[in-house]
Amino acid sequence: NAGVTQTPKFRILKIGQSMTLQCAQDMNHNYMYWYRQDPGMGLKLIYYSVGAGITDKGEVPNGYNVSRSTTEDFPLRLELAAPSQTSVYFCASRDRGRVGAFFGQGTRLTVV
Amino acid sequence: AQSVTQPDIHITVSEGASLELRCNYSYGATPYLFWYVQSPGQGLQLLLKYFSGDTLVQGIKGFEAEFKRSQSSFNLRKPSVHWSDAAEYFCAVGAGGGGADGLTFGKGTHLIIQP
């Protein structure tokens, strides 16, 4: 089915390890987003991209990096994992000129 | 800066009863408003959206919401809830059209359905 696909669904990291959360969409959407969700806090925007090669910081970018080499993929990189990065991460996409974003199923990350 | 307030962290409703979830927003321009639902362990699903026109919007699963500019509100309603409506509900505000900015979410309202 068409949509936003995130991998992995679950991951446990040790402090200081690095990892990449993958996000792919097959709807040819221009805009893609990474959010984190913490209990009782709603979702906070980490980074977003308006197209291949263009990324920008959101509200909580510290400790993360992104790249957008293709329209379809928007990976999120954690270089030195910290306990504060324990969260559920959601990738989303939408088409320019349209309202409402499509969300992936999320990646639950625990840093111990 | 834009913000969204959902005053109720938890709401408990009996099955078959009516529901209203509150949402107040702060946004500098004409807002694009959304309600999303999140079932346990799942991603977010768009229930409905408003950006212009009729202030009463219909969404999926029998939900509707009313935009009231004078009150800066966008409350979600359903006339009769079902046990399957138990979930987390998020109100969000953001740009649509050409604007790429992401959404600003409220903290969510957890809906509990009593038998």
| B103/A43 Cα distance (integer angstroms) | 9
Tally of CB atoms within 10 A around A83? 10
Confidence of residue B100 (pLDDT cuts 50, 70, 90): low
Cross-chain residue pair A40–B107, CB shorter than 8 Å: yes
| B34/B105 Cα distance (integer angstroms) | 9
Residue A33's contacts (CB-CB under 8 Å, 6 or more residues apart) are A45, A47, A48, A49, A58, A91, A92, A93, A101, B102, B103
| A10-35: pLDDT as tens digits | 999 999 999 999 999 999 999 999 99
Q: Tell me if the bond preceding A8 is cis, omega within 30° of 0.
A: yes
Alpha-carbon distances of B68 from A105, B4, B38, B58, rounded to whole Å: 32, 14, 24, 15
* Contact between B109 and B87 (Cβ < 8 Å): no
Average pLDDT rounded to a whole number, residues A89-105:
85
Q: How far is A21 from chain B (nearest CA, A)?
A: 15
Cross-chain residue pair A97–B105, CB shorter than 8 Å: no
B32 close to A (CB below 8 A): yes
Percent of chain B's residues with pLDDT above 70: 95
Which of residues 6 through 25 in chain B touch A, CB cutoff 8 A? Answer: 9
Average pLDDT rounded to a whole number, residues B8-16:
96
Cross-chain residue pair B90–A42, CB shorter than 8 Å: yes
| B15-62: pLDDT as tens digits | 999 999 999 999 877 788 999 999 987 888 999 999 888 899 999 999
Tokens of A32: 């893609």
The reported pLDDT for the residue numbered A1 is 61
B44 close to A (CB below 8 A): yes
For residue B99, pLDDT over 60 is answered with no
The reported pLDDT for the residue numbered A18 is 96
Confidence of residue B98 (pLDDT cuts 50, 70, 90): very low
Q: How far is B1 from chain A (nearest CA, A)?
A: 11
Q: How far is A16 from chain B (nearest CA, A)?
A: 27
For residue A8, pLDDT over 90 is answered with yes
Confidence of residue A39 (pLDDT cuts 50, 70, 90): confident
The reported pLDDT for the residue numbered B1 is 75
A39 close to B (CB below 8 A): no
Contact list, B100 vs chain A (CB under 8 Å):
30-31, 48, 50, 56, 96
Question: CA Rg, chain A, in Å?
Answer: 13
